[in-house]
Every structure is written in C-alpha cells, then in structure tokens.
Amino acid sequence: MRNRTFFWYAIEGYTSLDSRSSTLRVPTSRERTGDFSQTFNSAGQLIAIYDPLITRVDPTTGLLVRDAFPGNVIPADRLNRVAGNILAYYPLPTREVSSGAGNLDSTADQTGYAVMDSVKIDHRFSDTGSLSGLYITNRTSRTNGNFWERGQGPNRFADPRDGTLDRSLHLVALNNTWLPANNTVLTLRYGFTRLQDDSMTIDFDPVQLGFSPTFLEAQQIKKFPRGTIAEYEGFGAVDPAPRIWHSWSVNGTLSRLRGRHTLKTGFEFRLLGVQAQSFTGGSGDLHFDRFYTSANPLANGTATSGNALASFLLGYPSGDPGNQSHITVSSPLSPSVKYYGARLGGLRPHCGLFIGRTSRLRAPDVLQHAVHARPPAAAPGRADRRALPRGFRRRAVRGESPLDRR
C-alpha cells in the first residue's frame, strides 16, 4: 500500500441568517367577532356588509338587491366555526385599525446552512493499472421568512410563507485505467448521482379545524389548507413538492495506436431519471372575495360594500368561476430513462468517424386532476351554491355554512 495509495478528505460549510421586515393586513379584534362597524376604505368611508341570504329582486328596478347586517355586525350564530378556528392562528395586529392598509409590522428571519464532504482515493496496482474513487455529499437547508411567528414557531404551519427547502446530494465516481500493452489503453468508468430536493413544512392534522368528513377524505395530504382572503393576509404553509433526481452511467473505451493513427472503440450506458410529485392544492386551495357580502350580488364588492373577510367568516368561498376553491389530486412523475451507446474508429490523424445510437424513453407529464364543481349561475347571491367541491355544497337556503361538518 505504501507509495501506491493516496487519498484526501475535505469538509466545508456555512450558516446564514437574514432578516426582513414587512407590513401585513390581518383581521382586527372587532372583525374576528364579526363586527365591521369600524371597517373603512382608504377614503374613510364605512364598508357595509350585506347578508347573502337576503337576496331578492327589486320590483322597481328589476335588479338583485340585498339587505345590510344591522349595525354592520354579523350575528354570532352566523359565524362559521371553521373560519373561527383558522383565525385563531392569525397574529393580532399592532394597530387596531382596518382601512385597507397594513396594520401588522413584523420581522421575519431566514436561516440556512450547507455542509459538503468530499473524499478521493487513488490506488496504483502496478505501473499499468490504477483505480480511483470519488465521493461527494452536500446537504443544504433554507427556511422561508415567517412573519406570523418570528423564527420557527410551533404554529408556523398556518403562515402562508412557511416552508423549508431541503436538498441532499450524493455523488460517486470510479475510474479504472489499464495498459495491457505499450500502445493500448483501456478505461472503465462508473458514475452515480442522486439529488433529493424537497419543499416541506411541519405536520398538522386538519381535523382540528372542524372541516366536514367529506372534505377531509378528499384531501391528498394532511396539512393546514392554503387560502386567500382578498385584501387580507392569506393562510396555509407551502404545499410539499418532493423531488429526487438521479443518474447512473457506465462507460468504457479501448484506444490503440497504429503508426500515425488512433483506433478507438467503446461503449457508454446512461440511466437518467426523476421521481417527483407536486402536492400543490392537495390539502385544499380556498379563495374568498367580496361577492357574497356586496350590495350588488353580481359585483365583487363596491366602493362602500363587500368585504372578503366577512365572506370568510360566513363560510362562503368565492363564487367567481375563475377563483373557485378546490382540492387538487396529483399523480407521481414516472422516471425518464435514456440510454446511449457509441463506437469511434480512426481514419487518419485528425479525422474520426462516429458510429452510435441514442434512445430515450420520456416520462409522462404529471397528471393533475382538479376537483371542480359546475360553474355558478349569473347571480352569485342565489345560484352559486354549486361552485365548490363535493363536501362544500352550499346550504345557504337553510342558513347553513358550506364549511360546517356534515
């Protein structure tokens, strides 16, 4: 082994901490209880909240109209239980005002680290043969900035910015060289690479939010659902997207010198693939706008009426066909495969002939089937009760919320 085996090892890494600040708009203490008597627009005008269950045709104008909630307060028995459970995870504002502008000043920390190890061994069996091996591993992790709870709080699964990008790389390379004669060189090489690339968040059991069993059964992943509330902060951490990339290759070449010519032949085989699945929308993708609490049932709010948070508290997701709530079901991406073979023959010192074949089996695209119901009718106040997934069928005619447990 002495004077025949050589090796080296190296390790390097870093850690990082970045901070950033932002101003968010979150529900005030009054709004969380259904009291919108102090909710104004940017001009200081009160935003009236209208009852979607009282939608009728005005006999004079022939238009659909609604009645506002008395005192601009939603009765306690009309507040949706699931909405209340979700709001319990929202941070309180630093300023108890609601005028269309941000009311929560917050700072988020982004942390990260990376560690790379590498080792190489080279062994000479004789003057005509040698073998070398290289192994590299690299691990990185990076968190998104969480504004709801600074750092990595226990309830970060509800923050729409929460998520961790974890990556791990493993690489192996072997190289064997043999000289069977003074004019002949034979080489054999092997290589393997595996990269795991995951966007993740912490676990959460959505049963705690009080969703109906039908909705829970339809979820492909069990986590805090994602949602948007127009003009307010949304909710729900990033949806997982695990990916594994890999490659495997073997090749060999035989080179022979004949006078001024070089004859070279060989082979190469490669296997390339990826295993991936996106769970975007797999726990539910909910959207709330101003339609259901607007004075005009056919408009997404007016200058002085309609509030998305009020629609959320009532349990009425958007009836807009382009903004429907849904659960997405995805299928894994199958590995793609490619193999390659080649031969090379010499003609003269500076010219060669390439003879080879390349074949590839391509993977099908990711299949995503969105679970949508039929589009709503023209009047969101009355006829939009089918604009949600199964388990979310609207029960507005009976005064029930679509988010209630069945």
Residue ranges in the chain whose pLDDT is less than 70? 1, 331-406
Q: Is 330 helix (H, G, I), strand (E, B) or coil?
A: strand
**pLDDT value for 403:** 56
What CA–CA distances, in Å, run from 399 to 77, 363, 392, 396?
Answer: 10, 49, 14, 5
**pLDDT value for 333:** 60
CB distance 364 to 357 below 8 Å: no
Residue 281 burial class via C-beta count within 10 angstroms: exposed 0-12, middle 13-18, buried 19 and up: buried
For residues 107 and 21, give the distance between their C-alpha atoms in angstroms, rounded to a whole number: 4
Q: 301-349, pLDDT tens digit by residue?
A: 999 999 999 999 999 999 898 899 988 877 666 544 444 444 444 443 4
Q: CA 395 from chain center: how many Å?
A: 32
For residues 248 and 397, give the distance between their C-alpha atoms in angstroms, rounded to a whole number: 61
For residues 131 and 126, give the distance between their C-alpha atoms in angstroms, rounded to a whole number: 10
**pLDDT value for 348:** 39
Q: 130-153, pLDDT tens digit by residue?
A: 999 999 999 999 998 899 988 778
User: What residues contact residue 70 under an 8 Å CB cut-off, 6+ apart?
Assistant: none
- Distance linking the first and last C-alpha atoms of the chain: 74
Helix (H) or strand (E) holding 287: strand 285-288
Helix (H) or strand (E) holding 244: strand 243-258
Tell me which residue of 96, 79, 88, 94 sits closest to 39, measured CA to CA: 96
Of the CA atoms within 13 Å of residue 30, those in its CB half-sphere come to: 13
R_g over Cα of the chain: 31
Kindly report the number of other CB atoms within 10 A of residue 149's CB atom: 17
pTM of the model: 0.76
